[in-house]
Amino acid sequence: MSQKKRTKIKDILQLAEANVTVTVKGWVRTKRENKNVVFINLNDGSTINNLQIVGDPTKFDEATLKKITTGASLSVVGLLVASQGSGQKFELQAETIDVLGVADPEKFPLQPKKHSLEFLREIAHLRPRTNTFSAILRVRHSMIFAVHKFFHEKGFFNIHTPIITASDAEGAGEMFRVTTLDLDKLPKTEDGKVDFKEDFFEREANLTVSGQLEGELTALALSEIYTFGPTFRAENSNTTRHLAEFWMIEPEMAFYDLEDNMDLAEEMLKYLVTYALENCQEDLAFLEQRAKDEESTKKQEERSELSLLERLRFVADNEFVRLTYTEAIDILRNSNYNKKKKFQYLIDAWGADLQSEHERYLVEKHFKKPVILIDYPKEIKSFYMKQNDDGKTVAAMDILFPGIGEIVGGSQREENYDKLTNRMKELDMDAESMWWFLDTRRFGTVPHSGFGLGFERLMLFVTGMSNIRDVIPFPRTPGNAEF
């Protein structure tokens, strides 16, 4: 190893032997010193582990030593030796220390004490320098990589679908508008409405809520595709599971029916969880302990029965329960929670939309396993879902996870042109503007299916964090777009 070139702490800690001179660069986590020795814990983000640096204070000038405080950045050259202390294999005997950047201890907000997650959200620009957030960001990277690996190995093609669209895939109308019109001087049509013909795209445009519709177009050519892109929803729901900007994985497959779709989703979720267990061990061990500490502050009945790693193994090793919406409604209606009015929204009739409390009851209390619910009432699902023969339900599938509720939403798609356009008419949708989508049903239509996995919901599950704002680097929620 050359002396000038930086060696990552991760690579140093994996060396078989000490007695090499290395250069490390990173940020000071803690410093302790007495007359004879100074100890510095340095972290460079390559691993959760710090490298302990030991120095003889008489070898360094006082001004340099003073600048070494929590948060300062250093470049250190030294000899790597077997560590005297417990807890680490190696330590670095500093020969030279350069302070690259100071961090005034009076002003630097991250000090070596436990900061609340709420406080860290207010300093989202600095929170990657904590153990918790650097662990989350490394796991997040591994999960992104595993998503691509999974689909690539199965022969799926990654498609970039547009971020700016003129259609509302979900029909929920919770979209962010994209415009270059001058908001102070809006051009108007004769009947007084905003004239979008004058706008950049010469029509109304928005940020996409889903890449599905364009995904379907390409699946009807390449057979098996997936998208993994940002999606935007202007839903004013201030929950721990909703972001205004989140990332979604959306596979879309020709020749798949609902069962093929469920099989793929279950296989994918198990693959991703297994990948994390095998490749993120140190970070997950840290996050498991963090979650335990957090749980210990909760009431007994709010604690989860399994630890983080146990939950991950449980999902990887067990078959998901599959049942229909109708069966689920019966279970919920007859449940103690319903009878004793413990649900905020009581279940009385078939057709009710399931709230997260119902989803979690099924998963956590009743089955104690991930659940795939299928065949929902058509009224509570999107227009494009395949209509079942009963005339009442559609071939939808939602996957429900412990602690989260819905993690995946998908369906077999309606491939029949007449049925699809009739449903659009019932819903008062403008079929004309979606001529390109309907063309897939006019030319070489095939049975096909797909689903959407909210990447941050997966991250919540894998990291054991409880607020979705903490599993994305810079969260976007109502009133929050600072960083």
Options 246, 286, 384, 401; binder of ligand ATP; rule CB under 6 A: 246
439: CB partners within 8 A, 6+ apart: none
- Given the complex with ligand ATP, which of 53 and 268 has the nearer CB atom? 268
Q: Which stretch binds ligand ATP (CB under 6 A): 75-83, 136-144, 187-195, 454-462?
A: 454-462
Q: By rule CB under 6 A, what count of residues binds ligand ATP?
A: 15
Task: Give me the 424-453 binding string for ligand ATP, x by CB under 6 A, dash otherwise.
Answer: ----------------------------x-
Options 330, 357, 406, 439; binder of ligand ATP; rule CB under 6 A: 406
Residue labelled with tokens 């009807």: 220
Q: Does 215 bind ligand ATP (CB under 6 A)?
A: no
Options 456, 462, 470, 475; binder of ligand ATP; rule CB under 6 A: 456
Residue 183 beta carbon to ligand ATP: minimum distance, rounded to whole angstroms: 26
- Given the complex with ligand ATP, which of 402 and 454 has the nearer CB atom? 454
Q: Does 265 bind ligand ATP (CB under 6 A)?
A: no
Contact positions with ligand ATP (CB under 6 A) in 140-199: 170
- Given the complex with ligand ATP, which of 79 and 144 has the nearer CB atom? 144
Residue labelled with tokens 């691509």: 148
Q: Which stretch binds ligand ATP (CB under 6 A): 28-36, 115-123, 143-151, 400-408?
A: 400-408
- Given the complex with ligand ATP, which of 127 and 233 has the nearer CB atom? 233
Options 269, 287, 407, 434; binder of ligand ATP; rule CB under 6 A: 407
Q: Does 229 bind ligand ATP (CB under 6 A)?
A: no
Best CA proximity match to 481, nearest among 124, 238, 230, 137: 124
Options 94, 159, 178, 243; binder of ligand ATP; rule CB under 6 A: 243
Options 454, 459, 469, 471; binder of ligand ATP; rule CB under 6 A: 454
Cα within 13 Å of Cα(360), Cβ side: 14
8 A C-beta contact, residue 140 and residue 459: yes
Q: Which stretch binds ligand ATP (CB under 6 A): 138-146, 154-162, 243-251, 326-334?
A: 243-251
Cα 38 to its chain centre, rounded Å, is 40
Residue 413 beta carbon to ligand ATP: minimum distance, rounded to whole angstroms: 14
Q: Does 357 bind ligand ATP (CB under 6 A)?
A: no
Q: Which stretch binds ligand ATP (CB under 6 A): 160-168, 215-223, 238-246, 295-303?
A: 238-246
Q: Does 266 bind ligand ATP (CB under 6 A)?
A: no
Q: Does 233 bind ligand ATP (CB under 6 A)?
A: yes
Contact positions with ligand ATP (CB under 6 A) in 280-339: none
Residue 211 beta carbon to ligand ATP: minimum distance, rounded to whole angstroms: 11
Options 254, 408, 424, 471; binder of ligand ATP; rule CB under 6 A: 408
- Given the complex with ligand ATP, which of 215 and 452 has the nearer CB atom? 452
Q: Does 465 bind ligand ATP (CB under 6 A)?
A: no
Could you list the residues that contact ligand ATP (CB under 6 A)? 170, 233, 235, 242-243, 246, 248, 406-409, 452, 454, 456-457
